[in-house]
Amino acid sequence: MAPKRSKQAAKSPVTTVVVMRLYVAGRAPNSVKAIANLEAICREHLKDAYKLEIVDVCEHPRRALDDGVLVTPSLAKLSPKPSANVIGNLSDTSSVLAALGLTSVP
Amino acid sequence: MLDAPDKSQAAFAQWVRRLVTGAAELRAFDAGEIDAVMDRDSGSAVLLPEAQSALHDSNRIALSALDALPGEVCVLDANGVVVMTNKAWRVAGAAHERSGLDVRAGENIFVACGDVPESERECAAAVSDAVRQVLTRMRRSLSYGYVCHAARTRPLCEFTIAGVAGDGPVTAIVTREWDGEGPRAKKTPRPATRRSSKSSSLLQTAEKNHLLASLPAADYARMESGLEPVELTFGKVLYEPGEPMDAVYFPGNSLVSLLTLVEGHRALEVGLVGREGMIGARLALGAATSTVRALVLGTGTAMRMSTARFLKEFHRSPALQRALFQFTDLLMIQISQTAACNRFHIVESRLARWLLMTSERMASPEFHLTHELLADMLGVRREGVTVAACALQQRKLISYRRGDITIVDTPGLKAASCSCYRYMQVQAAARTNGR
């Protein structure tokens, strides 16, 4: 059900776009929270410089299995390198920022 | 997707631990932040019991609550995808030929807004922008007028988009009201205030009455302002013989019996009218007074229209004329067949026929009727009804308890009914198919 979504910074070509994929289980409570938390973090810290794909594992289990996802919600940062993962409902903002490599962002 | 296997909580936790090996995954699992576990064996996601019950409960409650609302409601998720729509939304969408941004569950409202006819593009863009503003928390609610060029009738509606900010991302509730008053000022944010939901309830009842539902949208739209939803309660007399008929009624889920009164005798039912027809069709034949008593047998909804307005609509709508003539023809068949049936067929078969006709018109296998009334309906003594009802009950075709009748075995009851029932069914089908 969750469609692909992308927001890219067009204004500044030098901005690094963070590419993420969030695996969720439909509208299950932790999945809904994870989406909300991630969106809030992206709005605050990345403005438009991110690309987020939400994968509903209930509808596309094969994708999660192929990507080595064990549980949901699960966030994978794909680029820039190094890649990183955060498991859970993403309520711990600092660990999400650390995984996204944004700890130094003022 | 699989639901959690039927295991005790401890055993389930153990099973999850076998599947989940990573430290981060286990930490999240222990913190209760996990919804589902991927099971390589089945190749699917297994929902944890908590997530599963939360989903079941919230879906069930939300769906039934939404459907119960008379207004047209559509719920969007944070991406603008339609999570659910209520019954009124779907009914109105069908009635307006899917114009007026009639999105369905699973569709994206932003995509739908971009996929409208050229003439609606400006309005759709305004709605799309409003949804975006609400979903991004820029506004809490917005209302926009929308001119539907695709629809042949009732070209104006008003969208109100209200944000719902809970634990998760902002979602939106979109309500739609059809309006004949003229386009409202566009881009005028104002609080989401509800006006009368008359048009929504009109559509719902109209949908239930087959005669109204059979009319083309344009004819129905012209009549709509003269239709007033009313509730007909059991025992209410709509017409008495010899008295003028000051209004007509289009039953929704109500049921009306037409009774003939002969001096010195009990009333006798000659016709039964429900959602397939109307009460007061005689007006269309030039009569002004009723010859029968119209008695409400089944409490339910109906649409009322004044006689003067009805006659006006009747004379200018060929479609209404056709629908009425067809219904009157069927009513005449019913009346003449009932006359013969009352003379020739045994009470048990007649009772079976009557119960089937009632059940069909009320769209329910259960209804409440006393032996007294049943005796009136069938033109027999009360004792005769008791014997017939007991016989049908012994054959396990119906259950009867203190006036509560339930049809237990419809095919069996059809077999037990007299040939008049089947004859009327065949005639109705033939008329519907235009023969």
The end-to-end CA distance of chain B, in Å, is: 50
Phi, psi of B371 (to 5 degrees): -60, -35
Identity of the residue in B24, B47, B55 whose CB atom sits nearest the CB atom of A87: B24
The residues, any chain, with a CB within 8 Å of residue B273's CB and separated by 6 or more, are: B251, B255, B256, B257, B258, B279, B331, B361
H/E stretch holding B91 reads: helix B87-95
Fold annotation for B346-417: Arc Repressor Mutant, subunit A (1.10.10)
Distance of alpha carbon B54 from alpha carbon B42, whole angstroms: 23
Instruction: For residue B119, give both structure tokens.
Output: 């003439």
Amino acid making up residue B315:
H
Residues B22, B44 contacting (CB under 8 angstroms): no
- Closest chain B C-alpha to A104 CA, distance in angstroms: 23
Instruction: For residue B200, give both structure tokens.
Output: 């929504």
Question: What pLDDT score was predicted for residue A105?
Answer: 45
H/E stretch holding B341 reads: helix B318-344
Distance of alpha carbon B140 from alpha carbon B37, whole angstroms: 36
Neighbours of A86 (CB within 10 A): 25
Chain B residue with the nearest C-alpha to that of A71: B37
Q: Please, what sign has the CA dihedral across residues B349, B351, B357, B359?
A: negative
Question: What pLDDT score was predicted for residue B153?
Answer: 53
For chain A, the structural domain boundaries read 4-8+16-93
The residues, any chain, with a CB within 8 Å of residue A9's CB and separated by 6 or more, are: A15, A17, A47, A48, A49
Instruction: For residue B198, give both structure tokens.
Output: 């008359």
- Work out the angle at residue B279's Cα, subtended by the Cα atoms of residues B278 and B283, and round it to the nearest 5 degrees: 105
From the list B359, B94, B323, the residue with the least C-alpha distance to B212 is: B323
Are B69-195 and B346-417 the same fold in CATH? no
Distance of alpha carbon B351 from alpha carbon B374, whole angstroms: 8
More confident residue, A78 or B367: A78
Question: What pLDDT score was predicted for residue A74?
Answer: 93
Question: What pLDDT score was predicted for residue B57?
Answer: 75
Chain A residue with the nearest C-alpha to that of B37: A71
Q: What is the CATH number of domain B69-195?
A: 3.30.450.20
Q: What is the pLDDT of residues B189-199, one digit of tens each?
A: 333 333 334 44
Q: How far is CA B84 from the centre of its chain?
A: 17
- Work out the angle at residue B103's Cα, subtended by the Cα atoms of residues B98 and B107, and round it to the nearest 5 degrees: 140
For chain B, the structural domain boundaries read 9-54, 69-195, 209-217+225-317, 346-417
CATH superfamily of B209-217+225-317: Jelly Rolls (2.60.120.10)
Amino acid making up residue A38:
L
Q: What is the CATH number of domain A4-8+16-93?
A: 3.40.30.10
Neighbours of B10 (CB within 10 A): 8
Q: What is the pLDDT of residues B306-343, one digit of tens each?
A: 999 999 999 989 999 989 988 888 888 888 888 788 77
Residues A71, B78: C-beta atoms closer than 8 Å: no
Residue B28 DSSP SS3 = helix
Tell me the C-alpha to C-alpha distance, in Å, between residue B192 and each of B80, B124, B160: 19, 19, 6
Residues of chain B below pLDDT 50: 154, 167, 180-203, 206-207, 435
- DSSP category for residue A102: -
**B311 touching chain A per CB within 8 A:** no
Residues of A with CB under 8 A from a CB of B: 1-3, 5, 24-33, 35-36, 39, 57-59, 61-62, 64-65, 69-73, 85-89, 91
Substitution target from B12, B26, B38, B47 for chain A, most A beta carbons within 10 A: B38
Residue with structure tokens 């005639």?
B427
From the list B206, B368, B198, the residue with the least C-alpha distance to B301 is: B206
Task: Provide the ipTM.
Answer: 0.81
Q: Using omega within 30 degrees of 0 as the cis cutoff, is the peptide bond preceding A82 cis?
A: yes
Q: What is the DSSP string of B114-133?
A: HTS-GGGHHHHHHHHHHHHH
Instruction: For residue B190, give both structure tokens.
Output: 């104002």
Chain B residue with the nearest C-alpha to that of A88: B33
Chain A residue with the nearest C-alpha to that of B167: A33
More confident residue, A28 or B98: A28
pLDDT band at A10 (very low <50, low <70, confident <90, very high): very low
